[in-house]
Every structure is written in structure tokens, then in C-alpha cells.
Chains A and B, each alone.
Chain A
Amino acid sequence: MLTYTFRRLLIAIPTLLFISLIIFLLLDLAPGDPLAQMPLTVPPEVKQKMREALGLGEPIHIRYALWLKQFFIVEPLHIFDAMFGTNIGGDAQRIISWQTRSPVADIIAQRIPQTLWVVGLAYVVGVAIALPIGIISAYKQYSWFDQIGTFISMIGFSVPTFFTGVVLIIIFAVNLQWFPSIYNTTHKVTDWDSFVFQLRQMAMPVAVLALYNASQISRFMRASMLDNLRQDYVRTARAKGLKERVVVLTHVLRNSMIPVVTVIALGVPTIFGGAIITEQVFKVNGLGQLLITAIHANDLPMVQTLTFIFAILIVLFNLVADILYGILDPRIRYD
């Protein structure tokens, strides 16, 4: 298992380098201009000077090499410095956002908590709702519970979050005034009241995303349970006189979890990707919102860095899912 993991990690390096090159080329060759949003009153000569100040004058291979150096050497050193108070990184040029003219990594670090709180919590809540629903729906197939569960997950799956989000805002923020419509990213939890406020402001975005996640995962859970409930070993277990509880929750559930765990693990990188639309609707200024504003402003260093971090996470969690397979199912061995 360990050698397998090492082998996979080694293969990941050329994969990621290739991905980074593709992302860089795609972004660079795409039309667009970081200064396009400037008012027309700024004369072209001034714009040209600003472009040069952003480093756009250099040829493409030099910019790519520079970015690689900054991402793989300078930024990790800075993170190390920040953690241990050292100064190895020194004055080396970090990846600078074109919009803010500040290091990209600092802004990402600032945004991660919001995203983890809201999108992460929504994922946890979604999974926590999805598993029981999936199990019960499968066990009592075609019962009223299954029908309602199917109906709700179809709604959650097919109605886009920008619609459910706005509907929730109009009902709960505008009409009932229970929750704020705009997320306060500066809020700090210090006592009970502020904790309650934090819960209130997270309620709507978490609900929207949890519904979406839950509907997806519950369908997987249900399908997987149904497959297993029809297996011969289930009949054997029942014939042995095992309690129904033990049959379903120990034997069937454990076997059904294998594909579901993969789906859950593969979904984890999307937490870090943030929820572009939901974050925008509720003004949760997390990573998704950061990515979309960077795309709008043609802030290439920011878009490049964010998408590449997502790529790393996806590669990593693919590996995690594969390893989990092996742990959950003793029949699967890679060595």
C-alpha cells in the first residue's frame, strides 16, 4: 500500500506540471485584458505603461518559468517563514495579484476560513442528511418516505442554487427578517450572542448548499444500498438469525459505503473550490467569489494560482479515494 501511495505521488508530479502548463497557456491565450475595466478616460499610453508595470511585456515562457519558481519555491518558503517566524524567503518576488497588487497567497489565506465554514459545514450537513435518507429510502423502497425523499432530492438536484438562494433571501430575509441577506465576513465569535449571530448568518447559505449536496449523495447511497440488499450474503445473514438492525447497519451498510465514500472524497476538493454562485448570492466572500471576481478582472496570477490549487486538491483526493477503497474493502489490494 505504501509503495503504491509513493508511486501515485510520484506520477502526480508530471501530471500537475502538465496541468499547470495547460492552465497557464489557456489563460494566456484567452482573449481579455486586465485593464479592460478601466474607465475609457484613462489614455492608452497610460494603460500601456500599466501593462508593463504588471510584467505583461515579458515573453510567455519567461512568465511561465517565473510563475513556477514563485509557486513552488517562493510561496512555500513564505508559508514556512510565516509559520516559524524565520526569514528564508527574503525579498523574493511573490505571486502578486493584478487587482490588489498584493501577494495572492495572503488573500487566499484570508478567504479560506469563510469558505471552510460555510461550504465545508454545508458538505458535512449534506452528508449527515444524505446517508440516513439514502439508507431508509433503499430499505423501504417505494414507501412514502422513499417517494418524498426522491422528490426532494430531485428538487435539490435540478433547481439551481442561484434560484433557491434568492427564494430563501426573499422569504427569510426580506419578508420574515429572520436572517441577514448579506454575510458579515468580519464577524468574530466571542460569546453566545455572537455565536447565535454566526449561526443565523450561515443558516441560509448552508441550507442551500446542503440541499444540493444531500440530494446528490443520498441518491448514490440509495442506489448502492439497493444493490447490496439483493445480494446473497444478506439472505444468509438473515437466515443465520441476525437481527434486522445488524443485517442492515453492519453488513449491508458497510458494503454499500464503498462507492459512496469515493463520491464523498472526490467531492471534498469542491469545498475548497468554494461555491461560486452561492457565495456570490449571499455575499460570503470566500474562494469561489475570489475566483469569479478574478476572472472578471482578468487577474491572471490569481486565477492561475487558484485553479492550480484546485487541481492539486483534485489529484490528491483521487488518491485518497483510492486508498480508502483499499482500507474499506480488504479484497482490493494494489501491491
Chain B
Amino acid sequence: MDPLSTLWETFFDWDSMREALPEMLTVGLPNTLILAVSAALLGSVLGMLLAVAGISRTRWLRWPARVYTDVFRGLPAAATILLIGVGLAPLGMEVWGPNPYPLGILALSLIAAAYIGEIFRSGIQSVEAAQVEAARALGFSWGEAMRVVIIPQGVRRVLPAWVNQLIALIKDSSLVYFLGLLASQRELFRIGQDYAANTGNQSALLLAGLFYLALTVPLTHAVNWIDRRLRHGRPAGAPGDEDDDLTLAGAVEGSPR
């Protein structure tokens, strides 16, 4: 057989794909979504706490946040998942029973939080100090000023970077297979891998890859769209940015520009 058709059959064997598809849809996809969505929520909440601690004027908040971020950003994700998933397994067994998901989600969240914390922190710190001053001049406490005025602006500025991190999280969720999953707990990657191992054909793995792309690519485009809307307001024809307005203001006064 010529190399080209060997390649084709290794990756694009429709029968293998069709065989794996039902399990991918009913088992793999829901499990990947459960892992990624829970870890995204928990990781974002933890990340926000880290970001606020990281800009705190109290050394006892700033310092632990710094160390945490360095450690969890510096370790390979696979190592963290193994350390937490296996290391805490006896504890997890008592709390949750023989389910590796809670610890897997915890590990994924802890990793994501380290990155998301840095993303949120950079966004929050990019908001002008004058905004804090304006909020405080209205009578807001520092905490309220952060919550109502600063953090919402800071987070908007880093939405694309935050979504990048969620994309990384979707892909990293495949690493929980280290923790030993029951058949019903297998996520996309593991199902693809199992089919590939059983048949010696990689097409199911490629199918898993297509599922990941179907999740991540729309996410990127959705956030770009949201980002544009937040920057320019509603698309309904209103003048977009300051330059337009200055031109308008000048035109009203009749001054040549």
C-alpha cells in the first residue's frame, strides 16, 4: 500500500470514527464539559481572589498570592494533577467516594487560578488611579470602589486573555485520565485514546481532536465579538469613539477641522 493511503486510513477511517462517535457524544463530551466548566468557574473565582490579594497593600495577602502563583504556574499541569489527584486520593475517597472528578476539578482549578489571577491582576492594575479617586470622592469605600468600578473595568479589558485560559483549561481537562477513570467517567480524549488503542487506528483520536476544536474555536470568536461590543457599545450606528465626537462637536460649532 502506498504511504499516502496508509496515512489516510490511519487518520480518516470513517468506520472507526462512526464507531466512536456515539460514546464521544453521550459520554466524552458531557464529561469534558463538566470538568472544564466546573474548573473554569472555580478557577475564575480563585483567580479573582488571588488578583485582589496580589494588589493588596497588606504584605500577608500579597506574599502568599505571589508564592501560590509562582508554584502553580511553574509546575507542569500533569504533575499537579497527579500530585493532587493521587496524593489526596485517600482523603477524597472519604469525602466523595471512588470518584476522581472532584480532585481532578480541584487540580485543574488550582492551575487555572494561577494564570487567571495574573490575567485579572494585570487588567485591574491597568485601570487608571483616577477612577478609584472618582469613586472614593463619591463616598465609596476602597472595597466598594474596587467591586463596583475598578474590577468590572479591569476584567473587561482582559476578556480575550481570560478566554485563552479557558481554552487551555478545556484541553488540559484531558489530563484527568491519569487519575484512572471508570468507563462512564471517560472524557473525549480518553475515549479517543481507548478506541485508538483497541483498533490500532488513530481516527477516533482525530475525532476527539475535532470535538476539542468545535469547543474552542467558537469560544475564541465569541469573545472577540463580545470584546468589540464592550469597546464600542451597541453596534446601532451611534458614533463609535471619541475622535468621531470631537469631529461632530467641531462641526456643530462650525470650526474647520
Asked if A and B are interacting partners, one says no
Q: Spell out A's residues near B (CB within 8 Å).
A: none
